Structure 1
Amino acid sequence: MFDISKATLFRWEREGLISGPPRDWRNWRLYTRENVTEIQKMIRARKLVM
């Protein structure tokens, strides 16, 4: 969906740059529309810096 690695996504979450998504009973991340919007904003911001 996005051209970023899982490691980047998890790092942003760990560093508090994006909020952590809710998880299901298997502890899998369940990304909401709000999470996707946050990720899109981070990607745009990263492109501006580069």
Structure 2
Amino acid sequence: MQGDVLVKLEKYTPVIVIDKSDRKWLYVQLSFGEQKIYGWVNRSYIKAINH
């Protein structure tokens, strides 16, 4: 998968996982101010947290 970088996430930036059906990529939602941004993030950069 290849595309443009929409936003560079800082460490510990919370995201909502929308789709995790791909083995290597997660489709996520990120709140950026009042704007919601959707995009793909490599799984190796995401860590699940318990809330």
- Does the TM-score normalized on the shorter chain lie above 0.5? no
Q: TM-score by structure 2 length? A: 0.28
* Greater strand proportion: 2
* Greater helix proportion: 1
